[in-house]
Amino acid sequence: MKRKCEGNFFDNILMILTEATMNSEEIKAEYTSSLADLTFNSKPLINVLTMLAEENLAHAPYIVEAIEEHLSKVIF
């Protein structure tokens, strides 16, 4: 079930937390969308991303891919 994330960062987080049956690719897509909202140093947003990663340890390789792909876009 692929969906476009709309709304603010915390709406995206709520969507992730309530979707217990998501597969690894869906988790990665949702995490990628949430990472895109992190456009400045925000401790609360970083804490939420950390919490999401901790709660989805079974999908850790996909979350790491999302982070690596995001970093490759933002680092010169």
Per-residue pLDDT of the chain (76 residues; tens, 9 = 90+): 444 445 577 766 666 665 567 889 999 998 999 999 999 999 999 998 999 899 899 999 999 999 999 999 987 6
**Residue 6 C-alpha from the chain's centroid:** 13
Query: What pLDDT is attached to residue 65?
Result: 97
Q: Which of 63, 57, 52 is nearest to 13 (CA)?
A: 52
What are the extents of the domains in the chain? 23-74
The string over 18-39, giving b where at least 16 C-beta atoms fall within 10 Å of a residue's C-beta and e elsewhere, is: eeeebeeebbbbbbbbbbebee
pTM confidence score: 0.69
The domain defined by 23-74 carries CATH number 3.60.15.10 = no
Amino acid at 27: I
Query: What pLDDT is attached to residue 75?
Result: 78
